[in-house]
Chain A
Amino acid sequence: MFITVTGTRKEVKDGLTLPELIELENVETPEYVTVSINEEFVSSADVASTVLKDGDSVEFLYFMGGGC
């Protein structure tokens, strides 16, 4: 199946899970990355059980925050 990851279309195996994609993409510090699929944010509790579908568009966003 084909999915789009951070703007790039890629062929991946059917039934790829989100944790597998995070590993494939070598996402650094994934615990501080927010994932969206088709513009919907995935809650951290749902990451492990999320299975990707053909045509999904996935974005990885680093948490941006700090303090003075």
Chain B
Amino acid sequence: MLKITKSDYEKILKHAEEGLPNEACGLLGGTIEGDIKTVQRVYLLTNIDESNEHFSMDPKEQLAAIKDMRANGWVQLGNWHSHPESPSRPSEEDKRLAYDSSIDYLILSLQDREHPVLNAFRIQGHTDVSKEEIQYVE
């Protein structure tokens, strides 16, 4: 289970909406206790592809986020990106480029702008996709 505050969810949503029509992306840092991952900070990164169909995180921002997590005693729980015009599920490209099987991959769909959908997935071996429950906390 992945726990995230409503406030952090709103930050992701705002960054994704501000990034339209392009995909937006970022990282999640936090703690792990047993099966429960708790997001402590969301990192809003730049999609250097500037595309509505692809994203690549800015490696400099990625490095800064990793260092911030480490300085705070957190780990990288996962990454997130938006799908401006498609559902909240890993695309074939998402699966092909999922190189770290230890983290969660969150996808925020803005296909229905009035009803955004955020899902978390684990991706093993670029093919095996399983959904992880997200719990929203205050």
Chain A interfacial positions (CB closer than 8 Å to B): 7, 28-29, 32-34, 36, 39, 41, 59, 61-68
Number of B residues, CB within 8 Å of A:
32
How many angstroms from the CA of A61 to the CA of B63 in the assembled complex? 7
Determine whether the beta carbon of B54 is less than 8 Å from that of A66.
Answer: yes
Identify which of residues 22-63 in chain B touch chain A, using a CB-to-CB cut-off of 8 Å: 23, 25, 27, 49, 52-57, 59-60, 62-63
Q: Dominant SS at the B interface?
A: mixed
Closest beta carbon of chain A to B129's beta carbon, Å: 13
In the complex with contacts A7-B70, A28-B99, A59-B66, A65-B59 CB distance below 8 A: no
- Contacting residue for A34 out of B49, B59, B84, B94, CB 8 A: B59
How many angstroms from the CA of A62 to the CA of B123 in the assembled complex? 15
Chain B interfacial positions (CB closer than 8 Å to A): 23, 25, 27, 49, 52-57, 59-60, 62-63, 66-67, 70, 79, 81, 83-86, 90-91, 93-94, 97-100, 105
Determine whether the beta carbon of B59 is less than 8 Å from that of A67.
Answer: no
Contact residues in B for A68 (Cβ distance below 8 Å): 23, 52-54, 83-86, 91, 93
